[in-house]
Amino acid sequence: MWPLFEGRTCLPTTNGSASCTVGGYSSYAVNVSNVAQIQLAVNFARNADIRLVVKNTGHDFNGKSTGAGALGIWTHHLKDIEYYENYRGSGYQGPAVKMGAGVQAFEVYAKGQELGFTAVGGEGKTVGVTGGYVLGGGHSPMSSLYGLAADQVLALEVVLANGRFVTVTEESDPDLFWALRGGGGGTYGVVTSLISRVYPKFGVTVSTFDFSTGKDVSVETFWAGVRSYLERFPTHADAGTYAYFWILPTGPNAFTFLMNPFFAVNHTVDEFSALVKPWYDDLHELGISFQPNTTYYDNFYDGWMAGFPLETVASSTMMTGSRLFPRANWDTPTSLNATLNALRATITDGFALLAFNMKAELQEGFTSNSANPAWRETLMHAITSTSWTNTTSDTDIMVKMDDLTKAVGKWRAVCPDSGAYMSESDIQEPHFQQAFYGSNYDRLYKLKQWYDPTALFYAPTGVGSEEWVVKSLDGLPDQNGRLCRV
């Protein structure tokens, strides 16, 4: 997904005589099809003191599934999906699904469509549901209603660093059960499958539209339209909806707003229209014209297929940064203005905004877990990025990455006590322990020492990773180099 972490030794090229090396990819990988093979790979890497990397889809934004010279465990083909109409366990009785480690969002959603259930997975179509996604928290188009994907987990099967294969539940091992659900992928063991609670089918209204600065819409009018939207975030999230929107700088003093899409779970078109009416009224009053394309689907799968774009993988020369903006930023007009100004300043400086208006509260009766506490307060997960070309020098990439980290500093400044979502973040996030794990970090760190005393599992920005450094060959924060103790 991210050529940067490979060390850019092997970028796609039209030059047939170009040379390249494996770089930061694992030197060898076990294409696993059963648990015993994972146990053998874990024991072999531990006994031989070889770097070990767990890779599912390779989607991780921080290169956590990459590592030069490593032995890789590739979980992609563990595709079993089993549905239980009436599962009992961990204080829960009801429908649940068991998913192998390689199951991707589009696969479990399709199975749900066939058998009549809805699983809490990502908006991204190809994300590995049982891998880094759920282990890092996992936000979903259903999150405003049901919480994070990690909250849904009832049991996991895991190969530990000592090679033992265990079933982890609240009853069998509450500490590990807590740590695995949100503490990050590639940290405590190799999850071979997990069981998640699922929900009945429900209807959804999906709406897309856009508006831009132009002849009739001045820059100030555009931002007034954005402010009116921001004001509605608490109401929209509390109504159980999830909105994925972009604000793009399209030229000097030119901006476009894209709603892509507004995903209103459990809303008919009429209910959706009533929800957004105050915002739309403001837009009309401001003279901003827009043409929503709004459709009701009687099930999640069709709405999700129609609503979310298939996002680019494997061609990006870019890096991201992000922030979880807490509800407190909506408390007063002053704090809301500060939030808007921080976003506006970043976008005016040329950075695109991709953001989600949502909430992700732990539902009543659910077992608490190690997901970043900042998620529980959030009303907006905002992402921005920087990019370069295949020929940009390493020095210039580093400058761009530093600029990105500084740009996100404007967001940190308006919510310093919040954090960022580890799975869609900046690898250079300052004090990542606080940002990605919050008050859970100390407990997660202690559990890491207990379950993985030899630090077999290493992932950049993972729990305990501050004790290690990758001596990358080009000086960039990539995985193309030896992993050494600090």
Residue 64 engages ligand FAD in binding (rule: CB under 6 A): yes
- Residue ranges in 451-480 that form contacts with ligand FAD under rule CB under 6 A: 459
CB of 70 to ligand FAD, least distance (A): 10
Choice between 186 and 225, CB closer to ligand FAD: 186
Residue 107 engages ligand FAD in binding (rule: CB under 6 A): no
Residue 419 engages ligand FAD in binding (rule: CB under 6 A): no
CB of 385 to ligand FAD, least distance (A): 12
Residue 196 engages ligand FAD in binding (rule: CB under 6 A): no
Stretch of residues binding ligand FAD (CB under 6 A), selected from 5-13, 58-66, 252-260, 270-278: 58-66
Choice between 139 and 232, CB closer to ligand FAD: 139
Residue 1 engages ligand FAD in binding (rule: CB under 6 A): yes
- Residue ranges in 254-283 that form contacts with ligand FAD under rule CB under 6 A: none
Residue 397 engages ligand FAD in binding (rule: CB under 6 A): no
Whether the CB-CB separation of 260 and 246 falls below 8 Å is answered with: yes
Residue 67 engages ligand FAD in binding (rule: CB under 6 A): no
Residue of 65, 228, 320, 329 that binds ligand FAD (CB under 6 A): 65
CB of 292 to ligand FAD, least distance (A): 23
Residue type, 121: G
Residue 151 engages ligand FAD in binding (rule: CB under 6 A): no
Residue of 68, 101, 358, 380 that binds ligand FAD (CB under 6 A): 101
CB of 333 to ligand FAD, least distance (A): 31
Choice between 133 and 222, CB closer to ligand FAD: 133
Look up residue 245 and give its two tokens. 């929107």
CB of 469 to ligand FAD, least distance (A): 17
Task: Give the CB-nearest residue to ligand FAD.
Answer: 185
Residue 190 engages ligand FAD in binding (rule: CB under 6 A): yes
CB of 186 to ligand FAD, least distance (A): 3
Choice between 222 and 458, CB closer to ligand FAD: 458
Residue 323 engages ligand FAD in binding (rule: CB under 6 A): no
Choice between 50 and 313, CB closer to ligand FAD: 313
Please, which residues have CB within 8 angstroms of residue 333's CB and are 6 or more apart in sequence?
A: none
Look up residue 221 and give its two tokens. 């009018």
CB of 390 to ligand FAD, least distance (A): 19
Choice between 63 and 225, CB closer to ligand FAD: 63
- Residue ranges in 38-57 that form contacts with ligand FAD under rule CB under 6 A: 54-57
Q: What CA–CA distance (Å, rounded) separates 117 from 102?
A: 20
Choice between 102 and 225, CB closer to ligand FAD: 102
Q: What CA–CA distance (Å, rounded) separates 454 from 165?
A: 18
Look up residue 61 and give its two tokens. 């934004």
Q: What CA–CA distance (Å, rounded) separates 44 from 150?
A: 30
Residue of 6, 107, 151, 424 that binds ligand FAD (CB under 6 A): 424
| Per-residue binder mask for ligand FAD (CB under 6 A), 115-144, x = binder | -------xxx-xxx--xxx-xx-xx-----
Residue 100 engages ligand FAD in binding (rule: CB under 6 A): no
Choice between 259 and 340, CB closer to ligand FAD: 259
- Nearest to 273, CA basis, from 296, 245, 300: 296
Binding site for ligand FAD (CB under 6 A): 1, 54-61, 64-65, 75, 101, 122-124, 126-128, 131-133, 135-136, 138-139, 185-186, 190-191, 311, 313, 423-424, 459
